[in-house]
Amino acid sequence: MGTRSILWFRRDLRISDHPALVAALSESDEIVPVFIIDSKLKERTGAKGLAYLAQSLHHLDDSLDNKLQVINGEPIEVLKKLQKKYDAQAVHISAEYEPFCAARDTEIESSGIKLVRTGSAYAIAPGRVLKPSDQTPYRVYTPFYRAWLAHGWRKPQVRPKSIAAVSVDSDSRQFPDWKVPAGVSITQAGEEAAMKRFKHFQKNGLDNYDEARNLAAIDGTSKMSAHLTWGEIHPRTLLAPLGQSKAHEVFRKEIAWREFYADVLFNNPKTETDYYAPQFSKMRYDKPGKQFKAWCEGKTGYPFVDAAMRQLLNEGWMHNRTRMVVASFLVKDLHLEWQLGERFFREHLVDYDVASNAHGWQWTAGCGTDASPYYRVFNPVEQGKRFDENGDYVRKYVPELAHLKGIEIHEPWNVLDGYLKDYPQPIVDHATERLESLARLDEIKASKPLPPIK
């Protein structure tokens, strides 16, 4: 019997460009590849995300010649049993930086298990990009992006030609039976699907990404978010073929936003649920009630908002432009706290990412990293007219309005038969609520002490 190392898969469900896999193989004759299903994973992942994960695990297993061990239990207990069973001391992992994950790994190490961290889910790990002047983290995206580019990243790791893994028994093949919820259609999972989609995007979408990414009705985004969330593809793989055109630069910046938010959360771990700008916790917010329920169900009476929410419910994914619109509507039109929306997204997104979700919500809510945030109030009608001009996006997800033509679909109240099929009336008046949200901002601004006179 030769040497053995455990490779603990988490959100890195691939074998290409996988530094921890390469490290485990380099020091062992055989590896013990394992995915652990613990109680916290099930608590922190919605039904759509779990269904996606279940599919992804089968695809990873195929890549490992059906030698992936999938075990239910708590990580410390499972890892110690595997160490004893296979006489494997080292446990190789991709480093994780989210507060919960980092705390879990620290607890595991304190139990006496040696974790060997190689690589992470990012081109540049959180905490690495610092201001050269004082070695502190960046708080604003644009200077972070410039420093992130200057720092640079390694080339993708080569895919191993062969993977020697231990034989498995039936007790270690506890694949979950998480089904896609009824009426829901989620994107295809797995490393192969990720590479196929990225090649399709390179050929059909990348070169006009800067313009097409905002148009909700077309297939103009990369659709890489779920694959990145579960680590079926690494951001370095996405960055490697990019050139210097404007479209390529915009796509590179989108990858950098993901890394920036991971860095912000790493340096401010409480902002997963707390306000990045703490004064916003003092703002007057309403209690969730019927209006929040209408938002959740896509029945606000604003077609662009409702189409987006129904896309989320139907597919576990939402177009990036409409994520901002529905978030603005929740916080600025309904005067509800962003955490309500963050939790709802967490429950329904297959691409749920702790840092991107929390800080994407805070950016739109106006309490995040943006420099002049709260005054930006998205007009749900004008956004629809601009980014779904022909109404195709609304028509797809809101059948009650499918009889309306072109741009008129965004204002059914101005069309004679707009409410022919029982589409709901607007639950609020946007113009009125915009002024109300700005008035509430003035209240907390007034309560702040004036700066000292210099």
Give tens-digit pLDDT for 74-133: 999 999 999 999 999 899 999 999 999 999 999 999 999 999 999 999 999 999 999 999
Checking if the pLDDT of 239 tops 60, the result is yes
Tokens of 123: 């081109």
> Domain boundary at 72, 97, 120, which?
120
Q: How confident is the model at residue 453 (pLDDT cuts 50, 70, 90)?
A: very low
In a domain, 256, yes or no: yes
In a domain, 326, yes or no: yes
Tokens of 34: 């394992």
In a domain, 373, yes or no: yes
Let me know whether 115 and 142 are in one domain: no
- 238, amino acid identity: L
Question: What is the domain extent for residue 15?
Answer: 1-120
Let me know whether 21 and 131 are in one domain: no
> For position 95, which CATH number holds?
3.40.50.620
User: Which has the minimum average pLDDT: 208-222, 367-381, 415-429?
Assistant: 367-381
> For position 196, which CATH number holds?
1.25.40.80
Let me know whether 104 and 253 are in one domain: no
Let me know whether 410 and 298 are in one domain: yes
In a domain, 332, yes or no: yes
Say what the pLDDT of residue 36 is. Answer: 98
Checking if the pLDDT of 264 tops 60, the result is yes
Q: How confident is the model at residue 423 (pLDDT cuts 50, 70, 90)?
A: very high
Crossing angle (nearest 10°) for helices 303-315 and 338-348:
40
Give tens-digit pLDDT for 392-419: 999 999 999 999 999 999 999 999 999 9
Distances (CA, A) of 435 to 379, 394, 431, 441: 12, 27, 7, 10
Say what the pLDDT of residue 208 is. Answer: 93
Say what the pLDDT of residue 366 is. Answer: 87
- Specify which residues 137 forms β-bridges with: 130
Whole-prediction pTM: 0.94
Mean pLDDT of 338-348: 97
Say what the pLDDT of residue 437 is. Answer: 93
Rounded CA-CA distance 267/136 in Å is 10
In a domain, 173, yes or no: no
Number of structural domains in the chain = 3
- Specify which residues 7 forms β-bridges with: 33, 92
Let me know whether 383 and 246 are in one domain: no
Let me know whether 3 and 100 are in one domain: yes
In a domain, 182, yes or no: no
Rounded CA-CA distance 59/226 in Å is 15
Say what the pLDDT of residue 449 is. Answer: 45
Let me know whether 52 and 133 are in one domain: no
Let me know whether 254 and 238 are in one domain: yes
Let me know whether 290 and 226 are in one domain: no
In a domain, 347, yes or no: yes
Tell me the Cα Rg of the chain: 23
Let me know whether 298 and 356 are in one domain: yes
Q: How confident is the model at residue 370 (pLDDT cuts 50, 70, 90)?
A: confident
Let me know whether 135 and 111 are in one domain: no
Let me know whether 243 and 349 are in one domain: no
Say what the pLDDT of residue 444 is. Answer: 86
Tokens of 100: 């919960």
In a domain, 181, yes or no: no
Mean pLDDT of 62-80: 97
Say what the pLDDT of residue 446 is. Answer: 62
> Domain boundary at 267, 295, 323, which?
267
Taking the CA of residue 127 as centre, how many other CA atoms within 13 Å lie in the half-sphere pointing to its CB? 9
